[in-house]
Amino acid sequence: MKKNRRRSADKAANIIISMISMVGLLILVTIFVFIFQRGTGLLSWKLFSGNYYPETYDTYFSGPIDTIGYARPADLDPQAFYSEKWGIALIDDLNFEGKHYVRIEYVDPETPLTLLPDKNKDNSYSSIASGQSLDKVIFTDNSIFLSKQGAKAGIELFDNSDGIRDMLTTTPGNGIRGSIITTGYLILMTLAIALPLGIFSAVYLHEFAPKDKWYVNLIRRFIEILTGVPSIVFGLLGAAVFIPFTSSLFGASGGNLISGALTLAVIVLPVIISATEDALKNVPDDYRQASLALGANKTQTTFRVVIKSAVPGILSATLLSVGRIIGESAALIYAIGTAIKDQIILTEKSTSLAVFIWSIMAGETPNFDLACAVSIIIMAIVLILNFSIKLIARRISSVRT
């Protein structure tokens, strides 16, 4: 009897524990479902290559338009309205703030609309392309289209007119090209600073430093403390030290990419040092002794034998750092700033992908769809990095055994 009761109590406990353990899985799946549901719609080449800030074109076409006509493409959205006369399709849509606008859904490649003279710039041409919003058109017969009239009315006006006196279209914007470039710059600069510093420090601490000297222990302790410092405090360091430093050195005014990279370098430094030291620990002592026995001195042994064997470990430290750089936000908000830029200059502000999300979420109307699309990109990179690190670790352990 008693045994039975104990057994069923055990079973019940087992089930409860298994269920609680599902919480982690549940959270991960929820995060994935959320960001993919909201974000996949925006994932396109335009997102990667486009500018963040919309640009307005002011064009005209004195006409008259040929009467040959342009056939409606078969794969056009059935909800779009199409003008065969002009070869343009319009559709009603809502932007992320929920406001209505008229989007140009399709422009026939043969129609004159693909290349129109720009009113604001002399001898300059702008092309009306799908994705742009149609804000306002004044036709040559003085009829006026405003976007609030909707796509259907717009197409009717196009069909009734032979020329355009003034047309305002706006590129979609919300592209992340600038942030991708910034992230790339930050990764390169940070690694260029942190890798030599970190690897040399690890080599010194593991290969050269005298054992149990007070100053060596102190140095180790200081580097260890760095691991526990929250990233926003690194941001304060960047704002208080690196921004003035780069200002006086490169003439930057305020936060800039170099001060950001210096701050990130301090953040990833303990990661690189500890991973490199682990890698050095895993290099068998036989290698060192064999090299020394062959007459090489310690410096030669370290740099030609030991470091070479530690390369996979250093590589995984690098990947770990890249993940940290891509995900870092709080420190960069202080060390660079939150201004989104399309033109990237090293001595000026810009946003990495993570800070880009912060910037578009911080306003009155957070742009969830775009934030989730960028989150998908960040997650994909982080996942790839993580699996690469696992592969390297497996490779190291299989070589060792």
Partner 1 sequence: MKTITRSISNKFRKRTADKLANLLLLIPTIISASFVIFIIIFVNERGITPFLAARYGADKVSLLRFLMGTTWFVPPNQYGIFFIVINTLYVVLMAAAISVPVSVITAMFIAKMTNSRIGGFFQTIVELLAAIPSIIYGVFGLGIISKLVIRIAFVFNMQTAGGISSLSTVLVLAIMIFPTITLISITAFRSVDPDLEKSSLALGATKIQTLFRVSLVSAKSGIFTGIILGIGRALGEATAVSMVAGNAGSGPTFDLFQTTRTLTSTMLLGLKETSGLDYDIRFSVGIVLIVVIVCSNLILNYIKKRVGRFA
Interaction between residue 20 and partner 1 (CB under 8 A): yes
Residue 146 within binding range of partner 1, rule CB under 8 A: no
Smallest distance from the beta carbon of 225 to partner 1, in angstroms? 5
Binding window for partner 1 (CB under 8 A); candidates: 20-28, 69-77, 111-119, 144-152: 20-28
Write the CA distances from 161 to 60, 86, 113, 154, integer angstroms. Answer: 13, 10, 14, 11
Smallest separation, CB 319 to partner 1 (Å): 11
Q: How far is the CB of 48 from partner 1 (least distance, A)?
A: 19
Q: What is the CA radius of gyration of the chain?
A: 30
| Contacting residues for 51 by C-beta, under 8 A, at least 6 apart | 171, 173, 175, 177, 178, 342
372 contacts partner 1 (rule: CB under 8 A): yes
67 binds partner 1 (CB under 8 A): no
Which CB atom, from 104 or from 355, has the smaller least distance to partner 1?
Answer: 355
Give bridge partners of residue 81 from the DSSP assignment.
Answer: 90
Stretch that binds partner 1, among 93-101, 122-130, 227-235, 276-284 (CB under 8 A): 227-235
Cβ burial of 265 (10 Å; 0-12, 13-18, 19+) is: buried
11 versus 136: smaller Cβ distance to partner 1:
11
Task: State which of residues 319, 379, 392, 396 lies at the interface with partner 1 (CB under 8 A).
Answer: 379
Tell me if 333 contacts partner 1 by CB under 8 A: yes
Per CB under 8 A, does 225 bind partner 1? yes
Q: Which is nearer to partner 1, 100 or 213 (CB)?
A: 213
Shortest reach from residue 126's CB to partner 1, in Å: 34
Strand partners, 195: none
CB of 116 to partner 1, least distance (A): 39
Of 159-188, binders to partner 1 (CB under 8 A) are none
Residue 43 interacting with partner 1 (CB under 8 A): no
Q: Applying CB under 8 A, does 38 fall inside the site for partner 1?
A: yes
Residues between 120 and 139 with contacts to partner 1, criterion CB under 8 A: none
In the shown chain, the binding pattern of residues 236 to 275 toward partner 1, with x for contact by CB under 8 A and - for none, equals xx-xxx-x----------xx----------x--x---x--
**Which residue from 140, 346, 368, 392 is in contact with partner 1, where contact means CB under 8 A?**
368
41 binds partner 1 (CB under 8 A): no
296-325 residues in contact with partner 1 (CB under 8 A) are 297-299, 302, 323
- Please give the structure tokens belonging to residue 104: 């140009």
CB of 228 to partner 1, least distance (A): 6
Q: How far is the CB of 140 from partner 1 (least distance, A)?
A: 47
Nearest to 321 by CA among 273, 353, 277, 377: 273
Choose which of 338, 341, 348, 351 interacts with partner 1 (CB under 8 A). Answer: 338
* Residues in 89-118 that interact with partner 1 by CB under 8 A: none
Size of the site for partner 1 (CB under 8 A): 84
Check binding of 335 to partner 1 (CB under 8 A). Answer: no
Among 50, 175, 198, 313, binds partner 1 (CB under 8 A): 198
Task: Residue 354: name the closest of 260, 266, 262, 265 by CA.
Answer: 260
**Candidate ranges 53-61, 106-114, 153-161, 194-202; the one touching partner 1 (CB under 8 A):** 194-202
* Piece in contact with partner 1 (CB under 8 A), picked from 45-53, 154-162, 169-177, 192-200: 192-200
